[in-house]
Amino acid sequence: MTTSMSMRDLTRSSKSILDYDYVDIEDKKQKVYKGVFVPNRYADRVKEFLDEIIKNESMENFEKLKSFSSNFTGTTENRDFKELKAERWK
């Protein structure tokens, strides 16, 4: 069972959130989604899931950076910007 609450409702009735599987938190004045509250019975599984997502994103970013930097390995040593620019526009 889920529900949606504003920050104000959350601070006023914090005991009622334990009755739900998760609670969407939103700013009802500005109609902006702020996040989600997960009760402690799901906290460990959610943390593991988020850690895995963060790890995968970090590895993807690292691989992109590594492939980008490997394009320049050895080609830019002891050369200034003007030389590189001139070579590019030949």
Are 17 and 5 in contact by the 8 Å Cβ rule? The answer is yes
What mean pLDDT is predicted for residues 13-25? 82
Question: Which helix (DSSP H) or strand (DSSP E) does residue 37 occupy?
Answer: strand 32-37
Are 3 and 25 in contact by the 8 Å Cβ rule? The answer is no
Give the Å distances, CA to CA, from 43 to 3, 4, 63. 18, 18, 30
pLDDT at 62: 77
In the chain, where the domains are located:
1-37, 40-90
Distance CA 41, CA 18 (A): 10
**Quick check: helix, strand or coil at residue 29?**
coil
pLDDT digits (tens, 9 = 90+) for 26-77: 988 888 998 988 888 889 999 999 999 998 888 888 777 766 665 666 665 6
